[in-house]
A and B are shown apart, each in its own frame.
Chain A
Amino acid sequence: MPVIPKKDAKAGTALQVGLERSVAELYPKSKAESFGLSREDFAGILSEVAAKYAPGASAKEIHAFCCSLRIEELALARACAAGHNKAWEVFLLRYREKLFEVANYITRESSAGRELADSMYADLYGTSTRDGQRVSKLASYTGRGSLEGWLRTVMAQEHVNRYRRRRRLVSLDEESEEGAQFAAPEREEVVAVDPRVEAATDEALAALPAADRFVLAAYFLDDRILAEIARTLGVHESTISRKLDKLAKSLRKQILANLGRRGMSRRQAQEAMQVDVRDLRVNIGKRLMQEDAHPAFSEKKAEAGEEPG
């Protein structure tokens, strides 16, 4: 008989205790029974989600975590994944039209949107099988956010992956016939940047909170507008505007300070920054060509034959 380490046994007990309480409290609220899920099924779902996101948590923490989930949507999604018809009726009533709306919004074109929505619907229903079992994408929904938000994100992932796959497969002959001209590769000017400036900048960026770095990347690298960034973070647009303003000033100041610590005088540091600003030609587009090195989430999982999302 395998010896279960004390720590794992303790964690397992906490999980059990936390789950028992959560199931007792949340099963009625989730309407899981009406969707066709038994209490045991529901407990299994909660156990899986809690183990994934709250490993090693105390019983109280597990209970609090379970209470923070979208219980009803989780029960609905998992009941659909299990093939319960009643759940599908409810799902279609609530989300069928939304699927097409979201697909049209993402693709900006009705035919592509319809295709994306149909494909998504098939994946949600589970037209593929594994080991004789129907595989539905809904089985990967964990209730951390709303089901609608999850559907949007999964569709966005699928759209991005399709777009990248299509780009790779486009024939050069076809492009030439369509009139695409392929310019000679631009010679990137080699700008002699003082390595101390790069190091000082990297240090200043590393010291920023993750949210600030995200705002900078989204605004300057992705050309996102303030409203989009604000909605991602759940704040007012002008909060982002002020943040960018503040970051611009603080980064400059911090880089100068970092250069000072690297042996530059104030004047040298300012000149080094000015030279860089004047002569720099940034090829953002080239820098952003990361997909060859780092395929997106769904592609990686798809390549590995796993269920994405």
Chain B
Amino acid sequence: MADVPKIVIRRLASCTAVPDPHPDANLLAALVEKSLADHERLQVLDHLAQCSGCREVVALAIPELVAADVARQPVSTPWFSWPVLRWGAAIACVVVVGAAVTLRERELRQTISGEGKRSAVSAPAAPVPQPEATQSQGSSVATGVELAPKATIQAPSERGAASREMVARAANGAVVPGRAKEDIGLAESSSSNPMMAGGMAMSWTAKPTTGPLLKTRAMPIPRWALTADGTLQRSFDMGRSWEPITVSLEASLRAVAANGLDIWVGGTAGALYHSEDAGEHWVKVQPITDGRPLTADIIGVEFADFEHGRLNTASGEVWTTEDAGLTWQKR
């Protein structure tokens, strides 16, 4: 991630004129639960942007995600993004060099052993460049350990953001979010487990894992389909085989939109779910505008890119977002 200029942080910190009054607990709680009208939400966020005290209260008031219900994986990026391509090229170079050196070493050894037999004096093998150094470096990359482009997004490294996240979460025993690279022994959960933060609808579906959460290969982009009974299906082999994906036990799904690994599905009663890792994990999204949630059946979902999306409902409503579902407008 590009660094924010330090002057920005300094000017943010120097703004000590906090506008009164502080929002009361009703408004702060309603903000988190997306129950505020748009203008109220803006006012509260504007206050929070300047008031560290209120930000602290909001941060403490947010409920902790239940560890057993959450599978934390490194935040994925589209596999074709520039950092991945750059590292992919570096990996390929290291592998080629390592292979070349290994082959060369074998040839030399064969040559030396052949000469040794002829001369009947076993000469010590000429020191050959040990490829381990490069190879080990290469292998740590070649096994496909995702170097977590998002970890760089966590920069500025001088802030130790990644370690800060690990410490912050490890201290309370909760699952380390977003940066965990080791298996955390998740319990299998076949149903979405709503985590109700006082009504805030966010659901995490844990995917059973039996091995490390390290990605050992770039995730392919799947195909998606909806069955007549509203079940979402995914195929990684161009449609030859399909696997059902459990997103919601309550809603029947009616529409799906995919942008690489970024998937949005909509269904009955305003059910809307979003996944950024090709359906491995889902977040329930509740579009709200002017304090009123979307409750109609979603029959159409379109996302031109990661941020700009549009929902069509059976009642003729059109809901749009320009920030990946952060805020919604109803037409």
Interface 0/1 of B23-37, CB less than 8 Å to A: 111111111111110
| A171 vs chain B, min Cβ distance (A) | 24
B binding-site residues for A, Cβ under 8 Å: 1-14, 16, 18, 21-36, 40, 42-43, 45-46, 48-65, 75-76, 150, 153-154, 159, 164-165, 168-169, 171-172, 177-178, 196-200, 202, 274, 276, 283, 285-286, 291-292, 306, 323-327
Please report which residues of chain A, range 201-240, place their CB below 8 angstroms from some CB of chain B when the two chains form the complex: 201-202, 204-205, 209-211, 213-214, 216-218, 220-228, 231-239
A249 touching B2 by the CB < 8 A rule? yes
A binding-site residues for B, Cβ under 8 Å: 53, 64-65, 68, 70, 102, 105-106, 108, 140-150, 152-157, 159-160, 193, 197-198, 201-202, 204-205, 209-211, 213-214, 216-218, 220-228, 231-239, 241-245, 247-249, 251-252, 255, 273, 276-277, 280, 282, 284, 287-288, 290-291, 293-297, 300, 309
Please give, as numbers and ranges, the residues of chain A lying within 8 Å of B292 by CB-CB distance. 64, 68
Assembly CA distance A204 to B7 (angstroms): 11
Assembly CA distance A211 to B31 (angstroms): 12
A157 touching B153 by the CB < 8 A rule? no
Please give, as numbers and ranges, the residues of chain A lying within 8 Å of B306 by CB-CB distance. 242
B26 touching A145 by the CB < 8 A rule? yes
Please give, as numbers and ranges, the residues of chain A lying within 8 Å of B202 by CB-CB distance. 231, 234
> 17 A-B contacts, Cβ less than 8 Å apart?
A149-B29, A153-B29, A153-B61, A154-B25, A155-B61, A157-B57, A201-B5, A210-B48, A214-B45, A220-B9, A223-B164, A232-B32, A235-B325, A238-B276, A255-B7, A287-B13, A287-B14
| Given the contacts A68-B292, A149-B33, A108 and B172 also touching, CB distance less than 8 Å | yes
| Given the contacts A64-B292, A216-B12, A288-B13, A142 and B26 also touching, CB distance less than 8 Å | yes
A68 touching B291 by the CB < 8 A rule? yes
Assembly CA distance A282 to B177 (angstroms): 28
A105 touching B64 by the CB < 8 A rule? yes
- Main SS at interface, chain A: helix
Assembly CA distance A252 to B28 (angstroms): 31
Other-chain contact of A160, B23, B32, B56 (Cβ < 8 Å) = B56
B199 touching A296 by the CB < 8 A rule? no
B324 touching A236 by the CB < 8 A rule? yes
Please give, as numbers and ranges, the residues of chain B lying within 8 Å of A53 by CB-CB distance. 40
| Given the contacts A238-B276, A241-B153, A226 and B178 also touching, CB distance less than 8 Å | yes
